[in-house]
């Protein structure tokens, strides 16, 4: 039952944002009473924290999978961006705002994940790319990694990219493309062209289907 509650809460939060979903809504969607939920979770804050913990674990597993399945550092980024685009199709962009504004403890957990695990993954990708001669040698890896982390999450900033004006998946891709073109060598840019062409063909096929 605890897993069912967590699964339903995750689905509702992702689709409608966190703030708009109440304990009553979660209970109603599951066809159970609120008392049943309170047997497993103290309050909504605890549910949100459990969802964040689950998503952090999932993100770490996926990042390791991207690395293991990629042929090179550039492809690793393309795979990550494609996965992000898939996730964003079912995600309300306001979820990050709701998390920061109304659930500070859970937001701190996510922030720690962002600046520790995600930073390390980006840094290791940069080191991999330089060894493969796909990325420039004349860059400060620490600064560039932090820049990538901040720019990636800029897509969720409603003051900069409001949801009524921008598609978050397109913003994420453009920011990733800007990042890659700024750090790659001639050899790396050829791979960007290759994977960009493949991406366009894939998107075109999806639209036809």
Q: How far does CA 187 lie from the centroid of its chain? A: 28
Supply 107's token pair: 């937001």
Q: What pLDDT is recorded for position 209?
A: 52
Q: Is residue 14 part of a domain?
A: no
Identify the CATH number of the domain in which residue 58 sits. 1.10.357.10
Q: Is residue 16 part of a domain?
A: no
pLDDT over 60 at 168, yes or no: yes
Q: Is residue 176 part of a domain?
A: yes
SS3 state at 41: coil
Averaged pLDDT of the chain: 91
Q: What pLDDT is recorded for position 118?
A: 93
Q: Is residue 108 part of a domain?
A: yes
Q: How far does CA 23 lie from the centroid of its chain? A: 26
- Domain span at 203: 45-208
Question: How do residues 74-106 score in pLDDT, each as one tens digit?
Answer: 999 999 988 888 877 778 878 888 999 999 999
CA distance 190 to 108: 39
Can you tell me the mean pLDDT for 59-68? 89
Q: Is residue 164 part of a domain?
A: yes
Q: Is residue 19 part of a domain?
A: no
Can you tell me the mean pLDDT for 152-165? 88
Q: Is residue 123 part of a domain?
A: yes
What's the total number of domains in the chain? 1
Q: Is residue 173 part of a domain?
A: yes
CA distance 172 to 180: 12
CA distance 4 to 160: 36
Q: What pLDDT is recorded for position 95?
A: 87
Do the beta carbons of residue 20 and residue 29 sit within 8 Å? no
Confidence grade of residue 186 (pLDDT, cut at 50, 70, 90): very high
Q: What pLDDT is recorded for position 79?
A: 93
pLDDT over 70 at 208, yes or no: no
């Amino acid at each position: 039952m605890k897993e069912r509650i967590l699964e339903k809460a995750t689905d509702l939060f992702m689709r409608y944002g966190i703030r708009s979903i109440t304990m009553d809504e979660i209970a109603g969607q599951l066809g159970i009473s609120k008392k049943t939920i309170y047997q497993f979770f103290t309050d909504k804050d605890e549910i949100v924290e459990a969802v964040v913990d689950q998503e952090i674990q999932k993100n770490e597993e996926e990042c390791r999978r991207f690395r293991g399945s990629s042929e090179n550092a550039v492809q690793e980024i393309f795979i990550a961006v494609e996965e992000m685009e898939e996730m964003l199709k079912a995600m309300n962009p306001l979820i990050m705002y709701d998390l920061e504004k109304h659930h500070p403890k859970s937001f701190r957990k996510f922030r720690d994940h962002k600046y520790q695990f995600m930073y390390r993954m980006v840094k290791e990708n940069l080191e991999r790319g330089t060894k493969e001669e796909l990325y420039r040698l004349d860059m400060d890896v620490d600064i560039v990694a932090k820049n990538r982390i901040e720019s990636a999450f800029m897509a969720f900033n409603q003051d900069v990219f409001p949801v009524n004006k921008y598609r978050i998946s397109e913003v994420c891709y453009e920011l990733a493309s800007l990042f890659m073109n700024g750090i790659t060598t001639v050899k790396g840019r050829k791979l960007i062209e290759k994977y960009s062409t493949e991406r366009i063909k894939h998107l075109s096929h999806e639209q036809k289907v």
